[in-house]
Structure 1
Amino acid sequence: MSQMPPQAALSKCPSCAEPLESGDRFCGACGHDLSVAAVPHNDTPTLTMSGGAVPRPAAPGDDPQVPARPPHAPRPDASGAGAPASAHPQQAAQPSSGVRFDRPAEPDEYPLQAPDPRVAAETAAEEDAAVCVACRAGRVDSDGYCENCGHAQPRERDHMEQEVGPVAAVSDRGLRHHRNEDAFALGRAGLPDGSSALVAVVCDGVSSATRPDDASLAASRAASDCLLAALPHGTHPQQAMHDAIVAAARAVDALAGEPATAREHTPHQNAPACTFVGAVVTSGLLVVGWVGDSRAYWVPLDRATPAARLTEDDSWAAQMVAAGLMNEAEAYADERAHAITGWLGADAYELEPHTASFKPDRPGVVVVCTDGLWNYAETAEEMAEAVPLDAAVRPLHSARVLVGHALDGGGHDNVTVAVLPFPAPPQGAGSA
C-alpha cells in the first residue's frame, strides 16, 4: 500500500488557529488531526441518523479547506491520548433536527460512586456488632455472652409475638431460665365450604433433654404446616390434628437422626424432646390435640358459664389421680408432679397422640399454653379470671396480659400462650 506524501509543516492549527510546534501530529488545543489532507468543505458532509447529508455549520475559526474530526472519533491530546470533551468548546457542533454531531460535553464534576454493597455490609456488621446490654462496653461473642463482663445477652426467641388475623400468641423466656425453649406456630386456612379455620400450635422443650429449643421449634412448624396443608383439602380437623402430631414427632425424631418409622426398642438416650398442644377452631367445631403437659382451656365470653380444661396431662400427677392414689391437690403438690409420661422425641418408647373435638354452644376463646402459664392459673376458673373480657376481639393484647400474669407470679419457667376466638370469623375478617 502506497503512503501519503509528507505534508508541509504547519505553523498554526488550520482548525482553531493555535500555534503548533514542529513534529506535532495533533493540535494540542482542539485535537485536530494535522495529517488530514485539506479538501473542499462541501466534500465532507456530516451524516444524519437517516443517512442523509446536511452541511455542518461553520464554527468560529474554522478553515474551510480542512475537514473537522469525524463526529465520534476519540478526542486525542498532543500525545494521542483522549482529551476531555470540553477541551475546546468551539468543536461541539449544535444539534439539528434529531441529529447529534458529537458527544455531549462532560460535566465538570461527577457524582460520587455508590459504595460497594459488600463493603457497606461489612461496615454495618461492625457497627451492629452487639454491645453488652449490661455493661454497655464489651462485645458479644458468638455464643451470646459479653467478652467483658460475661453477661448472657438477650436472644431472638427471648420474647416473641405474632398475630395472624384473629389468632395471636406470645412467648417469653421468663425470669429464671437462660433461654426460651418454647415455640409456637399460628395459621389460618380456608375450608372447602368457604369458611375459615384458625390454627395454633404450642410446644415446650424438655429442659433435661438436649436441644430442647430446636425440638419445640421443629415440632411447632411441622405440625402447623401439616394442618394448613390438610384442612383446605377437606380433611376432618380431628384427623388433621392427629396427622399433625405424627408429623411433629417425626420432625423431632429427625433431630436425633432417628427415623420415625424405625423406632428401636432401645431408644436414644436424652434425645431432643418437647411437649405438644394444638387447637383448630372452625365456625362450629373446636379440636384439640396434645402430648405431654401443655394444655388447652375453653373460656366462654359469658363468664357466668363455667370454663373448662380441654386436655389431660401426660404426667406423673395425672397418673396418680387417674389411678385413685391421690387427689388432684395432693398429686400436683408433689415434687414429681411435672414429670411427664408422654413427649415427642426419639427416646419416647411410643407415640400416643391425644385428640378431642367439641361443639361449643356459645362464643368464647381457646387458650393454648405451656405449663409456664398454667402453673399460675391451674384450674379452669383461675384461667378464666386471668383472661381479659375482650379476649375474642383483642387476642394479642390478651396473650400479653396472660404472659404478664405468669411473670408477675414469679416467671419460673418459659411462658407461651395462644388465644383463638370461637367461632372462627369468616375468611377476610380479622381481629377488631
Structure 2
Amino acid sequence: MRMSQKPKPSHGLAACPGCAEPLDSGDRFCGACGYDLSAVPAAEAGPDRPTVAIGTPVTWPDAPPREPGSLSTMTQHPGDLPGTDSGGRDLPTTEIRTDGPTPPEPVPASGSASASAASGGDFELAAPDPRAAVRVDQAPAAEAVPAPAPEAAPAAVLCVACRAGRVDTDGYCENCGHAQPRERDHMERELAGVAAVSDRGLRHHRNEDAFAVSSTTLPDGSPATLAIVCDGVSSATRPDEASAAAAEAAGASLLAALPRGTHPQQAMHEAIVAAAEAVNSLAEEPGQDGAEHDPHRHRNAPACTIVGSVVASGLLVVGWVGDSRAYWVPDDRSTPPARLTEDDSWAAQMVAAGLMNEAEAYADERAHAITGWLGADSYELDPHTAAFKPDRSGVVVVCTDGLWNYAEAAEDMARVVPADAADRPLGAAQVLVGHALDGGGHDNITVALVPFTAAPRGAGSA
C-alpha cells in the first residue's frame, strides 16, 4: 500500500496521455513533453517509480533501554562495519554488501541521456549534462548586474526547445508548450572538502531533491565537513518544498551544534529531528495553489527522506530516515567498499523478515515504497545514526535513489566513483550524475561526496 493518491486535477487528467508524467492541478501543457491538456481526454498513467511511502504501520522490535543522551557507539575499522544505530543496536551485517540484485538489462551503446528520453516518448529536451556543465557561483552583491532602466522593454525569451516560441510568464513556451529549465533543474556546489550535484533527470518535470553542504570548525580548531541530501516524496504535496526545508534545517542544526563541541553523532541525531520539525511545519502552511483550503480535497502532508554525513576528528558519522543512502568507497580500490545505511523500505523489510531474497525484493514493483520518512503524517520519528573510524582514506557517497538505482551494490558504486574523487569531488559528483542520466534518468538525481582522510599510522588521536 502506498500513501494516498493525489486528487484528480481540475483538467481531469492524473497523468499526461503522451508520456505518463504526473500532472499538477491547473497545468495547461505537460511539463515533460508539451502535450496540450485542454484538448485531450484523460488517459491511463504509465508506470513510474518515484519515491513513495506506504500507509501500513510497520511492526519494529522494541528498542533496548538507553540512558538519555547516551552515545553507546563503538568505532570500527572498515572491515568491522556496519556499526551501531542511534539506539546503540548493532546494524545487521547484511547491510554491508558487495553483491547486488539481478543487474538491469544493459543500455544500448547509442543510448545517451537525451536518446534515452526520446526513445521512451518523454521530454526530448535533455537535462544539462553535468559532465560538461559550467558551474556558476552566485555573484557578490557588489558585482550584481544592475536592473534595466524602467523605460527599457524586457527582451523576449525564446524557448530552448523549439527556438521559435516566446516563453510566457508561467515558464512555458507559447508555441510548443515545453516547460523551460528552472534553477533547481540542475544545481552544483563545491566547498573545501565537500561537493554536491543535483539534477532533475529525464522523466520528471521538476527536481524534488535538495542538498546542503558546508564546513565548520570544532572547538579544538580541527575542521568538520558535512553533507545533507533529501528526496521529496512524490505522492505527497509540495515535495520540493519539503526536501528544501529539511536540508536547510539539518545543515543549520549541524553548523550550530558542532562548533559547540556536541558529539558528531548526537549532532546528527538532533539535525534529523530539526529537519523533521521543519517539514512538519509545512503542513500548517497553505500551499501556493490553495488546495489546503478545499475541504473536498485530500492531500498528503509534505514529506521527504533524509541522509547525511559528517566527517570530523577522524570519525565518519552518518544519519538517515528513508531510502536515501550513504556508501563508503576507499581510495585503495583493492579494499572492499561498504554501504553504511539500511533502507526504511518495503524491500528491506521483506529481506530482513526472510520473506524474499534481495534480488526478488528489489525486482518487485513495491520495492521503493518507503516505511520511514519526515512529515506530519509519518509514524513515530526514528532517526538512524552510526559512527565509524576508518583506518584508511576514502570518500563518502551520500545520494538519493535516483543514483543508487543505477549502482545499487557497494561494489557497483565503487566502480562508477572516479579514482580521483577525493581530490576532485565536484568532478566526481558530475560523473555520477551523468552515470544515472545515461542509465535512463528515471528519477531526480542528487549526490554529495565527502572525502575522508585517515590519520597517518602511529599518529595520536585528536
Alignment TM-score, normalising by the size of structure 1: 0.67
Given that 1:283 and 1:423 are in contact with CA atoms closer than 8 Å, whether structure 2 keeps it comes out as no
Given that 2:393 and 2:454 are in contact with CA atoms closer than 8 Å, whether structure 1 keeps it comes out as no
Deviation at 1:166, TM superposition (A): 1.6
Q: 2:349 — aligned with what?
A: 319
Q: 1:209 — aligned with what?
A: 236
1: CA distance between counterparts of 2:223 and 2:339? 24
Equivalent of residue 254 in structure 1, options 258, 281, 289: 281
Given residue 361 of structure 2, which amino acid in structure 1 is its aligned partner? A
1: CA distance between counterparts of 2:262 and 2:253? 11
Given that 1:281 and 1:423 are in contact with CA atoms closer than 8 Å, whether structure 2 keeps it comes out as no
Q: Indicate yes or no: 2:152 matched with 1:123.
A: yes
1:213-252 deviations in whole A, cap 9, x for unaligned?
1111110001000101110010000010011001111111
Find the residue that maps to 1:357 and give its secondary structure. strand
Residue 372 to residue 118, structure 1, CA distance change in 2 (3 Å): closer
1:97-126 deviations in whole A, cap 9, x for unaligned?
xxxxxxxxxxxxxxxxxxxx87615637x1
Given that 2:198 and 2:445 are in contact with CA atoms closer than 8 Å, whether structure 1 keeps it comes out as yes
Given residue 157 of structure 1, which amino acid in structure 2 is its aligned partner? R
Deviation at 1:373, TM superposition (A): 0.3
Q: 2:270 — aligned with what?
A: 243
2: CA distance between counterparts of 1:208 and 1:289? 24
Equivalent of residue 306 in structure 1, options 318, 336, 342: 336
Given that 2:236 and 2:302 are in contact with CA atoms closer than 8 Å, whether structure 1 keeps it comes out as yes
CA RMSD of aligned residues (A): 1.7
Deviation at 1:130, TM superposition (A): 3.1
Residue 409 to residue 122, structure 1, CA distance change in 2 (3 Å): farther
Q: 2:321 — aligned with what?
A: 291
Given that 2:390 and 2:454 are in contact with CA atoms closer than 8 Å, whether structure 1 keeps it comes out as no
Given that 1:372 and 1:406 are in contact with CA atoms closer than 8 Å, whether structure 2 keeps it comes out as yes
Q: 1:420 — aligned with what?
A: 450
Q: 1:169 — aligned with what?
A: 196
Unaligned segments of structure 2, at least 5 residues: 1-145, 286-297, 456-462
Q: 1:333 — aligned with what?
A: 363
Given that 2:269 and 2:319 are in contact with CA atoms closer than 8 Å, whether structure 1 keeps it comes out as yes
Q: 2:161 — aligned with what?
A: 134
Q: 1:158 — aligned with what?
A: 185
Q: 1:349 — aligned with what?
A: 379
Aligned residues, how many?
298
1:349-394 deviations in whole A, cap 9, x for unaligned?
2211111100001000000000000000000000000001111010
Q: 1:358 — aligned with what?
A: 388
Q: 2:309 — aligned with what?
A: 279
2: CA distance between counterparts of 1:252 and 1:142? 29
Find the residue that maps to 1:120 and give its secondary structure. coil
Residue 286 to residue 131, structure 1, CA distance change in 2 (3 Å): same
1:240-279 deviations in whole A, cap 9, x for unaligned?
0011001111111111118xxxxxxxxx951111110000
Q: 2:253 — aligned with what?
A: 226
1:304-347 deviations in whole A, cap 9, x for unaligned?
11000000000000000111111111110111000000011111
1:20-71 deviations in whole A, cap 9, x for unaligned?
xxxxxxxxxxxxxxxxxxxxxxxxxxxxxxxxxxxxxxxxxxxxxxxxxxxx
2: CA distance between counterparts of 1:291 and 1:122? 52
Deviation at 1:167, TM superposition (A): 0.4
Q: 2:422 — aligned with what?
A: 392
2: CA distance between counterparts of 1:151 and 1:412? 19
Residue 328 to residue 135, structure 1, CA distance change in 2 (3 Å): same
Given that 2:237 and 2:299 are in contact with CA atoms closer than 8 Å, whether structure 1 keeps it comes out as no
Q: 1:194 — aligned with what?
A: 221
Deviation at 1:146, TM superposition (A): 1.2
Given that 2:372 and 2:379 are in contact with CA atoms closer than 8 Å, whether structure 1 keeps it comes out as no
1: CA distance between counterparts of 2:276 and 2:454? 27
Residue 242 to residue 120, structure 1, CA distance change in 2 (3 Å): same
Higher RCO (C-alpha 8 Å, min separation 6): 2
Find the residue that maps to 1:168 and give its secondary structure. strand
Q: 2:206 — aligned with what?
A: 179
Deviation at 1:193, TM superposition (A): 1.0
Deviation at 1:171, TM superposition (A): 0.6
Given that 2:212 and 2:228 are in contact with CA atoms closer than 8 Å, whether structure 1 keeps it comes out as yes
Residue 388 to residue 119, structure 1, CA distance change in 2 (3 Å): closer
Given that 1:364 and 1:422 are in contact with CA atoms closer than 8 Å, whether structure 2 keeps it comes out as yes
Residue 122 to residue 241, structure 1, CA distance change in 2 (3 Å): farther
Deviation at 1:164, TM superposition (A): 1.1
1:184-214 deviations in whole A, cap 9, x for unaligned?
0000010011100001000001111111111
Q: Indicate yes or no: 2:436 matched with 1:409.
A: no
Runs of 4+ in 1 over 2 A off after TM superposition: 121-124, 135-143
Given residue 325 of structure 2, which amino acid in structure 1 is its aligned partner? R
Bigger Rg, structure 1 or 2? 1
Q: Indicate yes or no: 2:408 matched with 1:381.
A: no
Given residue 189 of structure 2, which amino acid in structure 1 is its aligned partner? Q
Deviation at 1:137, TM superposition (A): 3.0
Deviation at 1:135, TM superposition (A): 2.3
Residue 136 to residue 185, structure 1, CA distance change in 2 (3 Å): same
Given residue 180 of structure 1, which amino acid in structure 2 is its aligned partner? N
Find the residue that maps to 2:336 and give its secondary structure. coil
2: CA distance between counterparts of 1:324 and 1:118? 63
Residue 315 to residue 122, structure 1, CA distance change in 2 (3 Å): farther
Given residue 387 of structure 1, which amino acid in structure 2 is its aligned partner? V
1:83-107 deviations in whole A, cap 9, x for unaligned?
xxxxxxxxxxxxxxxxxxxxxxxxx
Given that 1:365 and 1:391 are in contact with CA atoms closer than 8 Å, whether structure 2 keeps it comes out as yes
% identical equivalent positions: 80
Given that 2:189 and 2:197 are in contact with CA atoms closer than 8 Å, whether structure 1 keeps it comes out as yes
Find the residue that maps to 2:228 and give its secondary structure. strand
